[in-house]
Amino acid sequence: MARTNRTGLARSLALPRPQLRNVYPALRYGPLDVLKQRLDDDVDPNLGLLDAAVDWGLYRAGRRVQSVDFQHAVQQAQSGEGFVWLGLHEPSSEQLEQLGEVFSLHPLALEDSASPRQRPKLERHENDMFLAMRTLAYLDSTDREAGGDVVETGAVMVFVGEYFVITVRHGKHTALAGLRRRMEDDPEQLALGPSSVLHAVADKVVDDYLAVVDAVQQDLEEIESTVFAPRGSTDIERIYQLKRDVIEMKRTVQPLASPLRELSERPRRLIHAEIREYFRDVSDHLARVHEQVTGFDELLTSILQAGLARVSIAENEDMRKISAWVAIAAVPTMIAGIYGMNFDTMPELHQSWGYPAVLGLMATICAGLFRGFKRNGWL
C-alpha cells in the first residue's frame, strides 16, 4: 500500500480523533504517536470523504447491518464480516485521495475516476477491480435550451474489492439510491458479495441506455415524417443537432462492449461465478443498444442528405419562377424601350392603330411565354 498522506483517513472519516486510533493499526499506517502529532498539525475538520457520500452501509449475508460509524464498518468488512458499499457523488481530488488511502486503491484508477469524460474501460489490479462507464439521460423539450443537446452524458465508476464496492458518480442523472433500495429488498442477490452490486450498477446504466434510445427513436421518426411529408418543412439545424447527439451516444456505448464481454466470459477472482452469468444478459442488451444507435447514425445521415437535397430543389424551383417572370417582363420592357426612342421615321407612331397594336403585341407575347412556362412547370 502506498504511504502518501497519513492524514487522509482522518479527513475522510471526519470523526473525533480518539476514534481514529482504532483505524490506523488495521491499515498499517505507522506508529500512533507520530500519527497523532500529524493529525494535530494537519487535520482540516471541514474536509471529509463522507461529505461526498450519498449513502454507505455494511452488508452481511445480504442484509444491511447497523454500524456505529464508517471506520468500524470498514474494520468489520476487513475482518471478513461482510462488505462495505459506499456511494460518492462528484468527489473532489482530495476526497478521492482519502478514498485511496482507506481502501488501498490504485492511484491511476483514482485519477480516472475524477474525470466525468472518462472512456469506458475495465482495469484489474492486485486487490481490486475498476470499471468505468459513461451514462446517458434524455432531456425533454422543457428541460433543454433552444438548439441544445437532446442527450446528456455523465459517468459512473465502480471499485470492487474483496470487502468493499465503491461507486463514484458524475452528473445529475443516474442516481443509485433507488438501486440500493432494490438490492436491499433482494438479500439473496446481495449476499453474493460486492460483484452483485457491480452487476446491478452496470445493468442500470445499460437499461438507461435503452430508455434513451427509445426516446431518441421517437424524435427520429418525427423528423423523418416531417422531412418526407409532401408539404413538410426541413429543419436542418434540428437534424444536425440530433446527429451530434447520436454520435455522442455511439462514443458512450461502443467502448463499454469489451469490458462487459470480458466480465461475462472470463472468470475473475472478485466476480462471483453466478454473477458472471448475469453479465451476459447485460452484454446482450448493450449489443442491442449499439445496433440501434448505429442505425440511427446511418438513418440521420440519409435524412440529412435528403433534407439538403430538398432545400436545394426548393431553391432551384424558386429560381426558375423568378427567371420565368423576368423573361415575361422583359418583353414589354423591350418593346416600350424601342418605341421610347422618339425617332421621326417610325411610321407606327403616326397611325391611329399603332398604340393598341403595340399593346396587343405585348399581351400576346407575354401570354404565350406564360403558357409555355406553365406547361413546363416553371410557374
Determine the average pLDDT of the residues in 237-262.
90
- Mean pLDDT in the chain? 80
Mind listing the pLDDT tens digit for each residue in 217-244?
988 888 888 877 766 666 778 888 888 8
What is the Cα Rg of the chain in Å?
36
Residue 277's nearest CA partner among 265, 289, 269, 262 is 265
Q: What is the dihedral of CA 250, 255, 260, 266, to 10 degrees?
A: 150
Residue 209 has what pLDDT?
Answer: 94
Residue 360, in any domain of the structure? yes
What CA–CA distance (Å, rounded) separates 327 from 317?
A: 15
Give residue for cell 506508529.
31
pLDDT category, 147, cuts 50, 70, 90?
Answer: low
Reply yes or no on whether the pLDDT at 4 is more than 70: no
Query: How many structural domains compose the chain?
Result: 1
Neighbours of 190 (CB within 10 A): 25
Residue 49 has what pLDDT?
Answer: 86
Residue 146 has what pLDDT?
Answer: 55
Reply yes or no on whether the pLDDT at 303 is more than 80: yes
Reply yes or no on whether the pLDDT at 24 is more than 90: no
What CA–CA distance (Å, rounded) separates 288 from 214?
A: 12
Residue 59, in any domain of the structure? no
Mind listing the pLDDT tens digit for each residue in 310-339?
777 777 777 888 888 888 888 888 878 877
According to DSSP, the residues that pair with 16 across neighbouring strands are: none
Which amino acid appears at position 77 of this protein? A
Provide the grid cell at 307: 433534407
Mind listing the pLDDT tens digit for each residue in 37-67?
333 444 443 348 888 999 999 999 989 998 7
Residue 356, in any domain of the structure? yes
pLDDT category, 143, cuts 50, 70, 90?
Answer: low
Residue 170, in any domain of the structure? no
Residue 367, in any domain of the structure? yes
What CA–CA distance (Å, rounded) separates 78 from 22?
A: 13
73 burial class (0-12, 13-18, 19+ CB within 10 angstroms)?
A: buried
pLDDT category, 177, cuts 50, 70, 90?
Answer: confident
Which amino acid appears at position 192 of this protein? L
Residue 145 has what pLDDT?
Answer: 61
Residue 146, in any domain of the structure? no
For the chain, give the number of residues. Answer: 379
Reply yes or no on whether the pLDDT at 29 is more than 80: no
pLDDT category, 149, cuts 50, 70, 90?
Answer: confident
Reply yes or no on whether the pLDDT at 5 is more than 60: no
Neighbours of 132 (CB within 10 A): 22
Mean pLDDT is lowest, of 116-130, 233-247, 286-300, for 233-247
Q: Which residue has the higher pLDDT, 236 or 287?
A: 287
Residue 339, in any domain of the structure? yes
Residue 56's nearest CA partner among 105, 102, 19, 1 is 102
What CA–CA distance (Å, rounded) separates 342 from 297?
A: 68
Asked if 155 contacts 118 with a C-beta cutoff of 8 angstroms, the reply is yes
In 2-98, the DSSP E strands lie at 53-60, 63-65, 83-89
Mind listing the pLDDT tens digit for each residue in 78-88?
998 899 999 99
pLDDT category, 17, cuts 50, 70, 90?
Answer: very low
Residue 30, in any domain of the structure? no
Residue 46 has what pLDDT?
Answer: 33
Mind listing the pLDDT tens digit for each residue in 337-370?
877 777 777 777 777 777 788 888 888 888 888 8
Domain limits at 344?
319-375
What is the phi/psi pair of residue 298, to 5°? -65, -40
Q: Which residue has the higher pLDDT, 42 or 159?
A: 159
